Amino acid sequence: MPSGGCRTSGVLTASATVFTGSCRLVSIHVCEVGGSTAEVKVFDGTSNSGKEIARLKLSSGQTIEFDMHSVLCENGLFFEEVSGAVACSIEFS
């Protein structure tokens, strides 16, 4: 079995707790799917009251991969769809 693998949230289309506990945020993949603009945030925690660690703004139809270089998140991961419509996956270990 290869080492260095990571887990995924699967495709998220609404705000959600991704993981509870200590983990490393590897990357964020997000695609705007509503035909407008969108904004998402990722927090170290289990709600949007934790420490904000990433904010991405997308234009219509845009897809972004955001490499987070295994940032240590002490309390978990929370994904917030702030505006617009997106399909997002969060990879972590």
pLDDT computed for residue 4 by the predictor: 72
Per-residue tens of pLDDT for the chain, all 93 residues: 455 789 999 999 999 999 999 999 999 999 999 999 999 999 999 999 999 999 999 999 999 999 999 999 999 999 999 999 999 999 999
pLDDT computed for residue 3 by the predictor: 58
**DSSP string for 57-89:** EE-TT-EEEEEEEEEEESSEEEEEEEES-EEEE
